[in-house]
Amino acid sequence: MSDLKEKIELEFIIKTSPSILYNRLSTPSGLSEWFADDVNVKGNKFTFIWEGAEQEAELLSKKENKSVKFHWLDDEDEDSYFEFNINVDELTGETALMIVDFAEEDEKEDSVELWNQQVDQLKHGLGSI
């Protein structure tokens, strides 16, 4: 029995439009710019490649310019997923990227640090630093 995973919720302000950000979150070419070295897609199955290692995820849902949700196929926890949500603040007009992920308690800090690094790469690629 695996340990219960804890939900991680992170928010990053990204200086770009929701449509440009959505493209980086939902397409193989966009994801390979910041999330993985390479990304292949067959139907709803995304194969993410890091330094030669592959991990497959199923695309659970996507809403244009709003959200993208995946589930790692090798994750025994059926309820865990990772999700990107795009929120635009009505008052400031700022675009925020909300990331929801799950990690075991002892891996939570590492997971947050990894997301921070990856989002820094995303911002850099968008010129949003």
The answer to whether 17 and 106 are in contact (CB under 8 A) is: no
9-67, pLDDT tens digit by residue? 999 999 999 999 999 999 999 999 999 999 999 999 999 999 989 999 999 999 999 99
Q: Between the CA of residue 47 and those of 7, 18, 108, what are the distances in Å?
A: 23, 24, 23
Distance CA 52, CA 70 (A): 21
CATH superfamily of 5-27+60-126: START domain (3.30.530.20)
Supply the pLDDT for residue 78: 82
Residues 86-126 have pLDDT tens digits of 999 999 999 999 999 999 999 999 999 999 999 999 999 99
Query: What per-residue confidence (pLDDT) applies to 3?
Result: 62
pTM, to two decimals: 0.92
User: What is the reported pLDDT for 77?
Assistant: 84
Give pLDDT, residue 128: 76
- Supply the pLDDT for residue 6: 93
**Sequence-ordered list of residues with C-beta below 8 angstroms from that of 49, at least 6 positions apart, any chain:** 36, 37, 38, 39, 40
What would the mean pLDDT of 73-77 be, rounded to a whole number?
A: 89
State yes or no: pLDDT of 1 exceeds 70.
no
